[in-house]
């Protein structure tokens, strides 16, 4: 496993890929050195790497009673992502509980969060949680973390690092004003579901 980077090191890194002080709709965003660097990186990962393809197959074998979604969005965000359902998931059913993994293409780091949806009650119950996870998610969390670390050697980022503000950046695909971004948005994706 790689040494754990500090929040300051990661903030410095994301500034190499996201231009400071520019909205992503500004033509200068993509034309900037940082924007061009990010575009080149994202385009280099449009075709999944053999390691990612092998990892998805490994997940199928490790979680045979789970549904898997490779939620990577080519051409958009600098990360690979996958959702692994907890046992009992039924497509179209009212309940969807998953552990979601985000693996950065900018640095050898990853993040996990728990996702819950229950549409069986009026108003639907929906939440996302960063660690600590509820007990029923912890077995999947531990196995998924172990596979990421043994396959890629990536380091898991703590909540404190993930939620570090990067107020002068706007992620490439987020429709935000300057001031909302956190490291998780710039290293991986702003979109969490």
Instruction: Give pLDDT, residue 89.
Output: 83
Look at residue 1 and tell me if it is in a domain: no
Look at residue 193 and tell me if it is in a domain: no
Joined together, the tokens standing for residue 82 give 């996958």
User: Domain containing 28: what range?
Assistant: 7-187
Contact 86, 112 (CB under 8 A): no
C-alpha to C-alpha distance for 193 and 177, rounded to whole angstroms = 21
Counting the structural domains of the chain, the total is 1
Residue with tokens 């490994």: 58
C-alpha to C-alpha distance for 118 and 140, rounded to whole angstroms = 19
Please give the average per-residue pLDDT across 137-153, as a whole number.
97
Residue 44's pLDDT band, with cuts at 50, 70 and 90, is: very high
Q: Which 3 state secondary structure label does DSSP give 58?
A: helix
Look at residue 181 and tell me if it is in a domain: yes
Instruction: Give pLDDT, residue 2.
Output: 64
Per-residue pLDDT tens digits for 126-135? 899 999 999 9
């Amino acid at each position: 496993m790689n040494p754990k980077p500090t929040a300051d090191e990661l903030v410095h890194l994301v500034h190499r890929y996201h231009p400071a002080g520019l909205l992503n709709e500004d033509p200068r965003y993509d034309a900037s050195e940082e924007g061009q660097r990010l575009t080149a990186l994202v385009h280099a990962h449009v075709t999944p790497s053999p390691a990612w393809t092998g990892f998805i197959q490994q997940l199928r074998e490790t979680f045979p009673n789970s549904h898997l979604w490779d939620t990577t969005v080519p051409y958009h965000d600098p990360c690979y992502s996958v959702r692994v359902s907890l046992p009992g998931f039924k497509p179209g059913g009212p309940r969807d509980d998953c552990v979601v993994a985000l693996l950065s293409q900018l640095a050898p780091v990853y993040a996990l969060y728990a996702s819950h949806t229950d549409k069986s009650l009026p108003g639907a119950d929906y939440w996302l949680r960063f660690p600590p996870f509820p007990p029923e998610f912890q077995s999947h969390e531990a196995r998924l973390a172990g596979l990421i670390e043994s396959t890629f050697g990536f380091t898991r980022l703590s909540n404190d690092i993930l939620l570090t503000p990067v107020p002068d950046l706007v992620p490439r695909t987020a429709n935000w004003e300057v001031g909302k971004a956190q490291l998780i948005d710039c290293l991986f994706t702003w979109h969490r579901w």
